[in-house]
Amino acid sequence: MIRKTYSFLLFLLCCMTSWAQQTIDLPASPSDPYHPSIQVFLPSADKANGCAVILCPGGGMRALSWNSDVEQMATFLNERGIAAIGLKYHLNTGAFPQGMKMSPMVDVTHIDHFPQADANPAHYPAGDSILQLAANDAKAAIRMVRQQAQAWHLDTQKIGFLGFSAGGGVAIAATIQATDPAERPDFLCTNFGPSLMPVKVPVQAPPLLIMTRVDHQNVAAGLVNLFLEWKKAGANAELHLYGDGTGPYTLMPQTGRTTTEAWSQQFLLWLQAKGFVK
């Protein structure tokens, strides 16, 4: 009986998500009611490889999918020696303006609907200002991680973003606006998340990995355009449009029944191919 109880407890422990070792507040205005922060999930010292991924969770800029996009991903990454940094960025708590029209829903064959890869479904001043605050949070997160790199046993040249859905839009905005090298990511991955603002690819653009499902309306078209913008600028980019399965992309069991479930392994392979992990 004791052996069975021990085995069950061990099983539960293995299924638990990572717990943050540290929570750090990011700079914010004293008058700002929202307090952005990062939560730090570090791998064990015997596994650590120096790479850190700042996780920007999805949630439509109105919530944060923290369990799936941060805690579960942190466990996945830590097991492979990669540090995970969960970002709590500014959210939009206001109402949409009355009478505002949303962008038409189009499939991947209509990329002309999103010039400069801007797939934001609803531009309006308050919403755009929140996106800017969130992008500033992401840049502050990169700076903070680099400042703590020695203490956390990280390589300052192996720090980048993985954004989910709206979090991908935040990561993209932070990347294209980063003028200070301390705030510039070494790599950028957006998973199911298009740009939410017009894209002007920076001169020193990091390698870009894009993953989404081909039949996700607006998102797929916006991400095809993002890939094209990166390539037109002469920057490194890779695009995966999965033709089956469902989204958004949480971690999925590797059953071999869909290609969509392979996204997490694709991300690891890409990091390895780019030299960010061994």
Q: Would the pLDDT of 15 be above 60?
A: no
Q: Which residues contact 278 (CB under 8 A, 6 or more apart)?
A: 49, 272
How far apart, in whole angstroms, are the C-alpha atoms of residue 126 and residue 62? 13
Say how far apart CA 64 and CA 161 lie, in whole Å.
16
Tell which phi-psi region holds residue 173, choosing left (phi > 0), alpha (psi between -120 and 50) or beta: alpha
pLDDT of amino acid 51: 98
At residue 16, does pLDDT exceed 60? Answer: no
Q: What pLDDT is stored for residue 247 in this prediction?
A: 62
Tallying the residues shown for the chain, one arrives at 278
Q: Summarize pLDDT for 184-218 with one digit per residue, the tens.
A: 999 999 999 999 999 999 999 999 999 999 999 99
pLDDT in tens, 88-124: 999 999 888 888 888 889 999 999 999 999 999 989 9
Q: Hey, where are the domains in the chain?
A: 18-90+104-273
pLDDT of residue 79: 97
DSSP string, 101-146: PPPPP--TT-GGGSGGG---S---HHHHHHHHHHHHHHHHHHHHHH
Distance, CA of 272 to CA of 277 (rounded, Å) = 5
pLDDT in tens, 226-248: 999 999 999 999 999 999 876 66
Calculate mean pLDDT across residues 139-163: 98
> Do 220 and 213 contact (CB within 8 A), yes or no?
yes
Nearest CA among 9, 85, 13, 75 for reference residue 47:
75
* Residue 1 pLDDT class (50, 70, 90 cuts): very low
pLDDT band at 2, cuts 50/70/90? very low
Pick the CATH number of 18-90+104-273 from 3.30.70.270, 3.40.50.1820, 3.40.50.720, 3.50.50.60: 3.40.50.1820
Are the C-beta atoms of 134 and 170 separated by less than 8 Å? yes
What pLDDT, in 10s, does the model give residues 25-76?
Answer: 999 888 888 999 999 999 999 999 999 999 999 999 999 999 999 999 999 9
Bridge partners (DSSP) listed for residue 41:
84
First to last CA, the chain: 43
The pLDDT value recorded for residue 7 is 38
Cα–Cα distances (Å) from 160 to 10, 50, 251, 253, in that order, read 33, 12, 19, 25
Residue bearing the bigger pLDDT, 21 or 40: 40
Amino acid at 127: G
**What pLDDT is attached to residue 246?**
66
Sequence-distant (≥ 6) Cβ neighbours of residue 206 within 8 angstroms: 160, 175, 184, 185, 186, 187, 188, 235
What per-residue confidence (pLDDT) applies to 269?
98
Q: Is the dihedral of CA 237, 53, 127, 133 positive or negative?
A: negative
* Residue 11 pLDDT exceeds 50: no
pLDDT at 254: 87
SS3 55: strand
